[in-house]
Chain A
Amino acid sequence: MAEELVLDTAIRDWVLIPLSVVMVLIGVLRHFVAKLMRSNQTLDAKIVKEGQVIVRARNLRAGANFIPLKSFRARKVYYNNEENGLLHVPKGQAQNPQAQMFSDPNMAMDMMKKNLSMIIPQTLTFAWVNFFFSGFVTAKIPFPLTQRFRSMLQNGIDLSTVDVSYVSSRSWYFLNLFGLRGLFSLILGEENATDDTQRMMQMGGFGFDPSKSLSAEKDGLDIVQHEWALPKFEKRAENVLRKLVG
């Protein structure tokens, strides 16, 4: 069962290498098509304002220990007080994110575009691989695997006598699909369109509720324990300067 199969070198030259090269090129193409199709949406002024307030509050929280207690308190009140604090959201004014999504057709359109740019090339490539290269034993994984991987690696050839480490062309396509992510992040930069996990995250954060994040930031600001980090910074600065000058 473990005897070596003799494979034609033509399979290497006309299946293995073209398939891999095409996978890389399609990844690059997808990246640039997604870049082209990304519409720059116009943002609502109110949403931008809220986002900026959140960023400012976050900066305050991060840098809380670098300002004196009095200044910190003043800023906290500015953000958090119950009457007109920036982070305070009056009850009943919170907008329903679902309704907001439907009121803005551009948003749904954008999401659909993203989805399509992901699904269409994959289906097409898969169909192309199926049509051109079905039924080849293309590759051999250089380490032994258990029988359980047979369905994963020998998708498309129904031979139970072939050693598990041999890979069919269709499975080589799948291996490429998952394994080329590292190469893409090298040649296309960090935020490339081929990264599916990142896209999932984006979708999760899609229907987010600004008022909710406002109140979350408010709570975060409330529990900050202020502890001034620079009680002796004047002395320290004096030391440094003294050493430089003297």
Chain B
Amino acid sequence: MMNLGFTIGVLGVLILSHAAYSTIQYRGLLKIVEEEFSGPPMTVVLELLFGLVLCLWAALSVPGKFISIHPDSDDNRIVSLPDNLDFMIFNHRGKVLQPDTGMKLKC
């Protein structure tokens, strides 16, 4: 994901520089035919838009994911519950025996 985003960002920057180059060419052309510059040609505008979208994607995906700040969200769980929760049984004969409270402190 990270690498894909980065590649897309590089691609976007390359597209933008190509757009810049073609605009320079266009202005050179206008200078020769002696016309006024009113705006870049349509293809360049489309190219810029495309580059912007690519860069937007890169900017949103490259820096990483947001992490939840709630203490009780799944991201911040220190102890994770096992997946086979359905098979956990508390109602067994072990509850008759006295739990050894000192054991927890020892280990």
Contacts and interface: CB of A to CB of B under 8 A. Distances in A.
Do any beta carbons of A and B sit within 8 angstroms of each other in the complex? Answer: yes
Interface of A: 244-245
A225 B88 CA distance: 42
Interface in B67-86: 81, 85
Interface in B14-70: none
Interface of B: 81, 85, 88, 90
A163 B35 CA distance: 24
A244 B85 CA distance: 8
A244 B84 CA distance: 12
Contacts of A245: 85, 88, 90
A244 B83 CA distance: 12
Nearest to B81: A244
5 contacts: A244-B81, A244-B85, A245-B85, A245-B88, A245-B90
A245 B90 CA distance: 10
A245 B81 CA distance: 11
A244 B86 CA distance: 9
A229 to B, nearest CB: 11
A169 to B, nearest CB: 21
A166 B106 CA distance: 77
Contacts of B85: 244-245
| Nearest 5 Cβ contacts at the A-B interface | A244-B85, A244-B81, A245-B85, A245-B88, A245-B90
